[in-house]
Amino acid sequence: MTISRGQMPRQLYLGGGITQLPMNQMIVPRGQYGLGSLVKSVTKPIKKAFKAFGDFASSDIGKIALLAAAGYGLGGGTFFGKTLPGISTSGGFSFKNIIPNLVGAAGSGEFGGSQGILGNLGLTKGFGSIKPTMLGLSTGASVLAGLFGGPEEAKTAFSRDPEGVRNYLMQYFKNLNKDATDEEARAFAESQTRE
């Protein structure tokens, strides 16, 4: 059965066409055939698993579990019989293995030693050196800024407890300058909290 021009708009509306467009610009949606539905059915459970892991990792218990697993792995522990990539010490978990696995172990000449995970990432020079590279410095600065917050967090902390912030700054100044008097520390705190 053929469709006349009079029936065409109605047929396109039923198929989900856009009704505000002129007749010559109407779009008919494509059917779900071929690989699209197959890919969707395969990726849907994977997306659900990643979402569940993300929900667990963002919880307090999940953060503790991930931190414990990272410490265990850095100490030479095995996960399903495999160690983490870049881990040079073996023989099971030990607290004394954590630092050498992070910064590496010094060797003699060209033989022995390891770069460690931070050396492999280019954050330190490796082989037991904790001296950071330029990439390590910028990464460390970004991490510290994220941990301690920026100017907005400082403003909210000061508005909540101005005297506590002044006392903190005075203690900070005294820790850096052992011979400083209380007046110098108070002047420093005042200069840092002035708007």
And the tokens for 94? 């030990």
Residue 177: CB partners within 8 Å, gap ≥ 6?
184, 185
Residues present in the chain in total:
195
Cβ atoms within 10 Å of 15's Cβ, excluding its own: 12
Question: pLDDT, tens digit, for every residue of 2-54?
Answer: 767 767 666 666 655 555 555 555 555 555 566 666 777 788 889 998 898 88
Question: pLDDT, tens digit, for every residue of 140-154?
Answer: 888 777 766 667 777
**Could you tell me the pTM of the whole model?**
0.44
Q: What is the mean pLDDT of residues 50-73?
A: 87
